[in-house]
Amino acid sequence: MAKIYTITSGKGGTGKTSTAVNLGAAINKFREDVVIVDANLTTPNIGLHFGAPIVPVNLNHVLQGDADISEAIYEHESGTKIIPSSLSLNDLKKIKAKSMIDISKKLKALSTHIIFDSAAGLGEEAKLALKPADEVIVVTNPNILSVTDALKTIKLAEDMGKQIRGVIITRVQGNKHEMSISNIKEMLEVPILGIVPEDKAVLESLVKKDAVIHTKPNSKAAIAYRDIAAKLLGKRRMPESFFDRILSGLGLR
């Protein structure tokens, strides 16, 4: 059965888009059909991540009623499919927000796993990406400001009647200044789906315009994202990583 995951965060800079990109690429690695939708209309980056910043038909055209969603799907050489949004602010005009629900229904007929990369924050644009979600995944960093914003995001999604699948903690360095994983779990009261360490391989993948899953498959970040994808799909995970052992030791696995 097709499912829509909305990847969101309470603030920018948490690694939300990198998570959407690499989680989608990781799901595709398991030979599952996946489409990553750039629902961050004001500051879209999915196309940039995959080397396709400008395409003939994008999500904005579909939301304006000028194209069908099937025309806006582009397939990366890896097999991962994306739906970019326009980089032009002019293309934000005449967007029909209600169309997002109709688009989502059509996407479920076209793919098995649909990932929406939402705008950060708690505004109307973020809500637009939350509305079609079957499950919500919140991205946060291990500091009190980011976790507090994540809590607000969780409450917003719950008020909208959405199921919270869990939280992904990114950019983890393991130093004493960070919040502990157990404290984050206690504060947010939702499952921890995975921990993604700070990894320069992610920045390198941006330069190469591809997912770190493809550019550095054995990097710590790539392994973490594959582990999270395996958990979402209910598939056998890769050998336990260092951060997994931390979770196990804390009784969070």
For residue 67, give the CATH number of its domain. Answer: 3.40.50.300
How confident is residue 250, by pLDDT bands cut at 50, 70 and 90? Answer: low
Gap between the Cα atoms of 220 and 96, Å rounded: 40
Question: Does the pLDDT at position 236 exceed 80?
Answer: no
Q: Are 173 and 198 in contact, with CB atoms under 8 Å apart?
A: yes
- Read off the pLDDT of residues 147-203 as tens digits, 9 standing for 90 and up: 999 999 999 999 999 999 999 999 999 898 999 999 999 999 999 999 999 999 999
- Please give the pLDDT value at position 253: 45
pLDDT in tens, 89-140: 777 777 777 789 999 999 999 999 999 999 999 999 999 999 999 999 999 9
Nearest to 231 by CA among 26, 81, 80, 33: 26
Q: What is the structure's pLDDT at 95?
A: 79
- pLDDT on residue 243: 56
Q: What is the pLDDT of residues 7-22, one digit of tens each?
A: 999 989 999 999 999 9
Q: Which amino acid is at 14?
A: T
Q: Which amino acid is at 69?
A: I
Range of the domain at 207: 3-249
Q: What DSSP string runs through the chain?
A: --EEEEEE-SSTTSSHHHHHHHHHHHHHHTT--EEEEE---SS--HHHHTT-SS-SS-HHHHHTTSS-GGGG-EE-TTS-EEE---S-GGGGTT--TTHHHHHHHHHHHH-SEEEEEPPSSSSHHHHHHHTT-SEEEEEE-SSHHHHHHHHHHHHHHHHTT-EEEEEEEEEE---TTSPPHHHHHHHH-S-EEEEEE--HHHHHHHHTTS-HHHH-TTSHHHHHHHHHHHHHHT-PPPSP-HHHHHHHHTT--
Q: Count up the domains in the chain and report the number.
A: 1
Q: Looking at the predicted structure, is the pLDDT value of residue 241 above 90?
A: no
Task: Count the neighbouring beta carbons within 10 Å of the beta carbon of residue 245.
Answer: 11
Q: Please report the pLDDT score of residue 7 as a whole number.
A: 98
**pLDDT of res. 240:** 47
Kindly report, residue by residue over 61-102, the tens digit of the pLDDT: 999 999 999 999 999 999 999 999 998 877 777 777 778 999
